[in-house]
Amino acid sequence: MQIGQNSVVAFHYTLTNDEGEVLDSSEGREPLTYLHGAGNIIPGLEKQLEGRGTGDKLQAKVSPEEGYGEVQAQLVQEVPRDAFQGVESVEPGMQFQAQTEGGPLMVTVTKVEGDTVTVDGNHPLAGQPLNFDVEIAEVREASEEEVEHGHVHGEGGHEH
pTM of the entire structure? 0.82
Q: Give strand pairing partners of 135.
A: 12, 57
Contact 34, 85 (CB under 8 A): no
pLDDT score for 38 = 95
Parts of the chain belonging to CATH 2.40.10.330: 73-120
Mean pLDDT over 49-61 rounds to 98
Mean pLDDT over 102-127 rounds to 95
Parts of the chain belonging to CATH 3.10.50.40: 7-68+125-149
Q: Give strand pairing partners of 103.
A: 100
User: How does residue 154 score in pLDDT terms, banded at 50, 70 and 90?
Assistant: confident
Residues in contact with 28: Cβ distance below 8 Å, sequence separation at least 6, in sequence order: none
pLDDT score for 155 = 60
* CATH for the 7-68+125-149 domain, from 3.90.950.20, 2.60.120.260, 3.10.50.40, 3.40.50.2300: 3.10.50.40
Query: What's the fold here for domain 73-120?
Result: Thrombin, subunit H (2.40.10)
Q: Give strand pairing partners of 14.
A: 25, 133
**Secondary structure E strands in the chain:** 7-16, 22-25, 32-35, 57-62, 76-80, 95-100, 103-113, 116-120, 130-141
Smallest CA-to-CA distance from 45 within 71, 30, 65 is with 65
CA distances from 140 to 3, 9, 36, 72, 159 (A): 8, 7, 10, 37, 18
Mean pLDDT over 87-100 rounds to 92
